[in-house]
Amino acid sequence: MSYRDLREFIEQVDGLGALRRIDGAHVEYEIGAVTEVAAGAAHQPALLFDHIPGYQPGFRVFSNATMTPQRAALALGVDPTLRPLDALKAWKNRRTTLQPVAPCTVREAPFMANSMQHGDVDLGRFPAPIWHRGDGGPYIGSGSLVVMRDPDSGWINASIYRVQVHGPKRVTIQFDHPGRHGAIIARKYWNAGKPCPVAIVNGEDPALFSAGFEYLPEGVSEFDFAGAIKGAPIDVFAAPQTGLPVPALAEIIVEGQLLPMSEASLEEGPFGEFTGYYAADKRPAPVMEVSGIHYRDNPVLLGSPPLKPPRHHFGLPLRGAGIWTNLEAAGVTDIAGVWQHVSTTMTVIALKQRYAGHAKRAALIAAANSYLGRLVVTVDEDIDPSNIGDVLWAITTRCEPSEAADVIRDGWSSSLDPGIHPARREAGNTTNSKLILNACRPFEWKDRFPTPSALSIEEAAEVEHKWGSAIA
């Protein structure tokens, strides 16, 4: 992997012809609106906003960083020229062999070029967007790492949580669920009668961004996982006030103390979710008193707002790769590929049918591991599951609804699920039903099913290899 920090990644994206520079967009709704429209465009460019009205030129916002399969592969150290499904398979195979790489402590960090401490702290100097028109305020943290140290073990957790700005020296951190590692660590400090030291990392490199979204086991640091992705240690620097290790090449570091909820809280949200809806109104969140901000010259804030599907922050469905791994671990053979559409709410499994019930077996395992999703589709191996047009063709020509549909009840969902009845949500019941569609050729007579007229996946790949530059 060749990029060292976010700036080098931006240069590489620019080299791919996938970067657009935007001057003059406002932080209130406009940066978010341009981000959303660009995410829905055919080429889905990454965006670098500068000359933001009301802010110093050079204080920039970068969005849509890893939205395409090509840029997601680049972030993960996978060949960005691979077809999307091949790139996901390459990551799935690499993911199973990654070994943690501990970070390396360094004595200098570019973000120490500029510091605001205590009375001089002013979050208002940074262009934190109001991403969606209905959001409760500006969010400096939509793609930021929240770094905390477990007081018992010393374990460093660096996950992504959203961070709303409430004034020049105050933010809230929304953990979403009491079982998240950040919430557990914070409660340990609070139960001891202490505030929790926190450092918020803004403008981290894409390997750290990817690691921050991973569901890692307790005791495993995202810094170690990012080092594994990059194949080299992450350089970390001790933040001057909290002593927390933070990535030395990050753009902006915000540090301070997260106060106990019994001492202070503020209404956080609402915030547009990845389902394309507002899942909740304002709700209390813990307050972080900011005591220090350190930033590089001409800092870049990494923005990753949730957007209406199919727009998604990451161009490769990493949870789909997890389901693919689960299928193989369960002994389900001949899986040709797994993909997720509409963010992560529709899972498609391509397989070569070996026996009656093969597709159903795969679908049931996928349904059990499909977070929030309502639709699982199985297709034959000649269908590219990453191509929604191919999938719809299979559904409409190989799926007999009266025979191929099953419903699973009490499935794994979330309070973010807009389809859960308010009374059930208030009672803590966040399950949903899941529809399984078997869009494979009927196994009993699959050898007599009409032969497709189109090129096979392999034949199409050969044509692309030979003639791709001529038809691009």
8 A C-beta contact, residue 300 and residue 7:
yes
Residue 468 has pLDDT above 90, yes or no: no
Any idea what the Cα angle at residue 77 is, between residues 69 and 351, rounded to 5°? 55
Angstrom distances, CA of residue 229 to CA of 76, 209, 424, 435: 6, 11, 40, 35
* pLDDT confidence band for 135 (50 / 70 / 90): very high
In the chain, the percentage of residues whose pLDDT exceeds 70 is 100
Angstrom distances, CA of residue 109 to CA of 228, 248, 296, 343: 22, 5, 9, 36
For the segment 10-45, what is each residue's pLDDT rounded down to a tens digit? 999 999 999 999 999 999 999 999 999 999 998 999
Mean local confidence (pLDDT), 435-445: 97
Distance in angstroms (rounded) separating the CA atoms of residues 164 and 184: 20
Distance in angstroms (rounded) separating the CA atoms of residues 107 and 420: 50
* Residue 377 amino acid letter: V
The predicted pLDDT at position 1 comes to 54
The predicted pLDDT at position 8 comes to 97
Mean local confidence (pLDDT), 377-383: 97
For the segment 36-91, what is each residue's pLDDT rounded down to a tens digit? 999 999 899 999 999 999 999 999 999 999 999 999 999 999 999 999 999 999 99
The predicted pLDDT at position 160 comes to 95
Domains of the chain, CATH where assigned: 6-302 (2.30.110.10), 318-471 (3.40.1670.10)
The predicted pLDDT at position 274 comes to 87
* pLDDT confidence band for 472 (50 / 70 / 90): low
* pLDDT confidence band for 281 (50 / 70 / 90): confident
- Model pTM score: 0.93
For the segment 293-343, what is each residue's pLDDT rounded down to a tens digit? 999 999 999 999 999 988 888 999 999 999 999 999 999 999 999 999 998
Angstrom distances, CA of residue 155 to CA of 23, 105, 127, 223, 322: 41, 15, 32, 11, 25
* pLDDT confidence band for 242 (50 / 70 / 90): very high
